[in-house]
Each structure stands twice: as C-alpha cells, then as structure tokens.
Chains A and B, each alone.
Chain A
Amino acid sequence: MSAARTLSMRDALYEAPGPKTRHRVRIGTAVSAVVVLLAIAAVIRQFWVTGQLAPRYWSLFLQWTTWRFLGQGLLGTVAVALTAGAIALVLGLTLMLGRTSGVRPLAALCRVVTDFFRGVPSLLLIYFFFFVPAQLGLKMPSFWMLALPVALAASGVLAEVFRAGVNAVPKGQVEAALSIGLSRAQTMRRVVLPQAVRYVIPSLIAQLVVVVKDTTVAYVVSFPDLMQNARVLITSYDALVSMYLVIAVIYILINYAINKASVYVAHRTGVKIIR
C-alpha cells in the first residue's frame, strides 16, 4: 500500500475513535491512572508504615564499599554466566550435530540427552554437582559446581535453538551443496552451519538471560556471585528488604539489557528470534 504505516496489532484492534469513544477513552485513561497511582501509593505507604523507608536501611547504598562488594559479586556472576554460556554453546552445538548426524544410535542418544537437560530443573543439576562429586571423593571448586550444571541445563535448550536454525536454512541450499559434490559433513560445515548460526545469534543472546537467572542460586554452593554477596551484606547491615530489592532491580536491568540486545541484533540482521 501507498502509505506504509506500521501499526502494532494492539493498536490495530482499535479503530480511529469517534467523539464519544474519544471521550470514553479519556475517562478510562484518567480512572486507570488514578488506580495505578493509588496502587503505587499503597505500596509506598506500606513501606512507610513498616519503617522500611528508614535511613538506616538505605544509607549503606551511599557507601562506596557496599557497591565495591556488590561489584565483586557481579563480576563473579558475569564470569560464571559467560563460562557456562560458552560451555553450553559448544555442548548444545555438539548435541544438535549428533542428533542430525543421521547415525541412528548417536542421534537417539543426543536426543535423549537434550530432552533430559531440557526437562530437569537447573536447581536439581546444581544439587547434583554439589553432592555427588564430594560423595565420590572429588574436590570441585564452587565456581565449577555452579558453571557446569548451569551449562548443562542451557545446552539442552541451545541444542534445540541450533536445530531450529538448521531447519530454517532453505532445503535448496543443501541440495545445491550436495549437487556440486560436497559430502554431508562438508555441506553441514561449509553451507548449513554458517547460515544457521546467523539465524540463531539473537536467540543465543536471549538465552543468556536464562543462564544469568540460573546462576543466582550460587549461594547453594557458596560461590560469591551478586546474590551471595548481597546476602553477606544483609547479615552485616541488617537491611534485608532494601538490599534484596536493589539486587532484584540490578538483575532485572541486566536481563532487560540482554533481551534488548537480542532484539537489536535480530532487527539489524533481519532475523526472527527463535525461542
């Protein structure tokens, strides 16, 4: 059409209002604004009534040492998340390659492993690495007690993401590659994978959110991440509510930024995000 205006679906549900509708929308907007503000006010009031707005709960955030300690925790979170993410990337790709290899037993095995890691809570895997190596007499650093299970949990999902990417590569590409004499493996490596990876980059970035979330149970294995350091500060400052809220906001902002980055990359490369 001539005038290309992009309407989001939620706007498209409504047509351009007439005078009566416009009046009704205006009233509804005012009423809902009041309701939302009242809800916010009620929350703030509850903080006030219970004394949670007292300076002693918030003054620690004015101290440099608080932020330095939280910053150290954040570095721990980032290190674990990136390590787990990198391992999951390799594992996920391997699982996908195995599953699509065409070698029956290998494909079946990879499928079972993929479904297993997708169907099990990451917490269960974390407890596994917390208890079992120790029971077998292995001493494992807490970093790996966290990074490995988080990586395993993510690898199942990533295998599926990669598979979706491979499926998104047009069949004609494979046929063309085979027709010029490339082997199956060569076709996968030289033609399919490079395109598939391009398709899934935004989804891979988005999966980092899941990894970051999974690392927050670091306290189970006593690894000093953001959450664990926050717990330490809570015991020394006795500022539980304020600290947990601040930590939650930090996590939300980090994950929001990761999601935004994923959408941005998808937009830039014109790729749809596969979930």
Chain B
Amino acid sequence: MTDLSVAEKDAGTAPVIELRHVDKHFGDLHVLRDVCLSVGRGEVVVVIGPSGSGKSTMCRTINRLETIDSGEILIEGQPLPQEGRELTRMRAELGMVFQQFNLFAHMSILDNVTLGPREVLGQSKEEAEKYAMELLERVGVAEQAHKVPAQLSGGQQQRAAIARSLAMRPKAMLFDEPTSALDPEMINEVLDVMVELARGGMTMIVVTHEMGFARRVADRVVFMADGQIVEEGSPDDFFDHPRSQRARDFLDSIGGH
C-alpha cells in the first residue's frame, strides 16, 4: 500500500525507465549481471558494446519481451507488470523498434501504423488514419502508405516501423539495433528520423553500433560487456577518455574514437 502511494507521488519526478540490480540467465549463460540504469524524461541513452554483451537483452527486458530473474524494472516509478491488461497498457506506452523491422506482412503500411491505436487505444479509423498519415509524412514514407511491407526498401520499412511505434504516443522509445539489418546507404535515412525524435524531446534508449550517432545525439553513453554495465558517461567523455580497459579495447576494435 505504502509502495503504491509513494509510486504515485513519484510519477512526475521519477525516472521514466529505471532498472535496479537486474539479473538474467539463459541457461548457464549469465546475460545480465546486476544491471542498474536510470533514464530521465527527455534523455537519450545510447547503449553500446560488443555483440553478446547483453545490450539487446537489456533493451528487451524493459517491455518484458524478455523476463528477468531478479531485480526490478520501474516505468515512471511503477514496477513493470508481469501480465494481463496492466502489462499491455504499459507496453502501449513504450515504443519499440526492432532490428528486423517486424512489420506485419499481411497489412498495408497504413494499417500497420493504425492497428495499435485502433485495437489498443480504441481510436476511430478516421482519427487513427489522420495521425498515421501525419507520422508517415514525418518519417518520409507517406507515399508508400498503401503498399505492403515487402514492397518497401529496408530503410523505408524501418521508418514505417518507427511511425508504428510513435502512433501509440509513447512515453519512451526503445531502439534495438535499428540499423544493423540495413544496407549502408539506408542507415542515414533511419538515423535522421531518430535524431529528429531526440531533438523533439523523446525519451530514448538506443542500442546501436553507430558511434557517430551516439556522439552526436546521446545525452549519455552506456558501455556494456559480458552482461554488465562497465561504464557510462557523456559521449565526449566516453569516446575521448574511456576509463576502462574493456571500453578502450572495444573502441580500438571498431576503429572509432
């Protein structure tokens, strides 16, 4: 009871997303070790690290696409629900963008974007389509609105997927390696949309290998290795003066600085 009232009072000031001492195993593999992370309103946190470091898994625990073994995940001070209505409502408030876009193959782009608002938020078709077209305009795929996903390029699909998430008017956006499956020439069109979002004040967690993006947009860079957050700091600090050997090795290996 007391927990609840505290939580409600905190809703305005609490971090939008908070992970406290999160642990997770896949069988024998310890994929998340005592992960603590707090993301404030309007903050853009970029998570980097070698593959297999657990960064994607961490991102996916935040809307419970992956469960955790122990620890706590709080959204605006409220614990992440485990099931039912409460969970779907919480998910509706967190946008997620996937590496493989994951657009619904049997629907037009427009229907992809309006599905959530109509099914989950109960919007009318007109209302949902009006906002969807605005969003598609914003991400630059309005002309493709009536095509199906397979008719679009990877970059266009990913931008449509971002619009699909935005249509739910989320409190925060999670990006799970959004450009890793794209051909090089399409990466920037997606990053541009994300930069635009960040400038607009969206709270974002971005798992990526795009160091340029991290440097330009991140308020904070989080470096993960072996399931742990090894260090975090401002992009300039991190890229110019990495404190840990792991981070230095990682930055050397990708040739970024």
Contacts and interface: CB of A to CB of B under 8 A. Distances in A.
Interface in B4-63: 26, 29, 31, 51-54, 56-57
A162 B56 CA distance: 43
B56 A2 contact: yes
Contacts of B65: 15
Interface residues of B, number: 18
Contacts of A17: 83
Given A18-B84, A18-B87, A20-B84, A2 B64 contact: no
Given A2-B31, A3-B26, A3-B31, A21 B56 contact: no
Interface string B156-198: 0000000000000000000000000000000000000000000
Interface in A1-30: 1-3, 5, 15-21
Contact of B82 (A2, A5, A19): A19
Chief secondary structure at chain B's binding surface: loop
Interface string B63-106: 01111000000000000011110010000000000000000000
B52 A2 contact: yes
Nearest to A17: B83
Contact of A18 (B31, B51, B56, B83): B83
Number of chain A interface residues as a range: 10 to 19
Contacts of B51: 2
Interface secondary structure of A, over-half rule: loop
Nearest to A3: B26
B67 A16 contact: yes
A20 to B, nearest CB: 6
Contact of B29 (A3, A18, A21): A3
A1 B26 CA distance: 13
A3 B65 CA distance: 14
Contact of A5 (B26, B53, B54): B26
20 contacts: A1-B56, A2-B31, A2-B52, A2-B54, A2-B56, A3-B26, A3-B29, A5-B26, A15-B64, A15-B65, A16-B66, A16-B67, A17-B83, A18-B84, A18-B87, A19-B82, A19-B83, A20-B84, A21-B83, A21-B84
A47 B51 CA distance: 61
Contacts of B66: 16
A169 to B, nearest CB: 24
Contacts, number: 31
A212 B24 CA distance: 51
Contacts of B82: 18-20
Contacts of B64: 15-16
A2 B29 CA distance: 11
Given A15-B64, A16-B67, A3 B57 contact: yes
A5 B31 CA distance: 13
Given A18-B82, A20-B83, 12 more contacts: A2-B51, A3-B26, A3-B29, A3-B31, A3-B57, A16-B64, A16-B67, A17-B83, A18-B83, A18-B87, A19-B82, A21-B84
Contacts of A3: 26, 29, 31, 57
A25 B3 CA distance: 29
Contacts of A16: 64, 66-67
Contacts of A15: 64-65
| Most-contacted residue by chain B among A1, A3, A20 (CB, 10 A) | A3
Nearest to A16: B67
A12 to B, nearest CB: 11
Top 10 nearest A-B pairs by Cβ distance? A18-B83, A18-B82, A2-B52, A3-B26, A16-B67, A21-B83, A20-B83, A3-B31, A1-B56, A2-B51
A16 B82 CA distance: 9
A242 B233 CA distance: 77
A146 to B, nearest CB: 46
A19 B86 CA distance: 13
Contacts of B67: 16
A2 B57 contact: yes
A257 B84 CA distance: 43
A92 B54 CA distance: 52
Interface string B112-127: 0000000000000000
B74 to A, nearest CB: 17
B207 to A, nearest CB: 11
A1 to B, nearest CB: 6
A19 B52 CA distance: 29
Nearest to B50: A2
B65 to A, nearest CB: 8
Nearest to B53: A2
A18 B57 CA distance: 19
